[in-house]
């Protein structure tokens, strides 16, 4: 295999694994269906395609930034940014859907949002396009945070069994 394809494979794998894991950790069962939700919540079917596009763009941004990074330390920084985002992204769904704690997920989404902001800012020196490709990600996480907040307001408290 030609080594120049490795960043493309890593970026694609990052997006596929993160999207797949997020999907597996999202349990749309009776508990979720019975939550009060705002009228402006998108239909459930929209979330999968939205995340597919958003994570695909972010994976592409990895490739662009990595291939433009001049030094190994720069590539290490890019790897760390994506690793931190991976963990922050992966943590939200089990908090909301598995633990059934939208209140905890609301606190965690702050870290997810900051990790996406770090991608936007941190990738810009290597590729402006890479930074721009993450703007839909930060916009969607911002929207998701507002939706999460409204669900907590409509349904809390969640600490009572």
pTM of the complete model: 0.93
Give 14-58 pLDDT, tens digit per residue: 999 999 998 888 888 899 999 999 999 999 999 999 999 999 999
C-alpha 158: how far from its chain's center? 24
Across the range 1-5, mean pLDDT stands at 71
For 133-153, the pLDDT digits (tens) are 999 999 999 999 999 999 999
Rounded to 5 degrees, φ, ψ at 44 are -55, -35
3-155 fold: Ferritin (1.20.1260)
- Show me where the domains of the chain are located: 3-155
> Following CA atoms 58, 64, 65, 67 in sequence, which dihedral angle do they give, to the nearest 10 degrees?
140
* Cβ-contact 98, 27 below 8 angstroms: yes
């Amino acid at each position: 295999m030609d080594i120049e394809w490795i960043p493309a494979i890593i970026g694609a794998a990052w997006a596929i694994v993160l999207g797949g894991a997020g999907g597996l950790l999202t349990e749309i069962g009776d508990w979720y269906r019975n939550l009060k939700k705002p009228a402006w919540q998108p239909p459930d079917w929209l979330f999968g395609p939205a995340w597919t596009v958003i994570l695909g763009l972010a994976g592409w941004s990895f490739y662009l930034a990595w291939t433009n990074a001049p030094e190994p330390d720069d590539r290490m920084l890019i790897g760390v940014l994506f690793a931190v985002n991976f963990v922050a992204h992966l943590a939200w769904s089990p908090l909301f859907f598995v633990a059934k704690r939208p209140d905890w997920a609301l606190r965690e989404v702050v870290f997810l949002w900051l990790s996406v902001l770090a991608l936007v800012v941190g990738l810009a020196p290597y590729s402006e396009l890479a930074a721009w490709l993450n703007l839909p990600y930060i916009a969607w996480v911002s929207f998701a945070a507002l939706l999460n907040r409204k669900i907590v307001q409509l349904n809390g408290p969640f600490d009572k069994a």
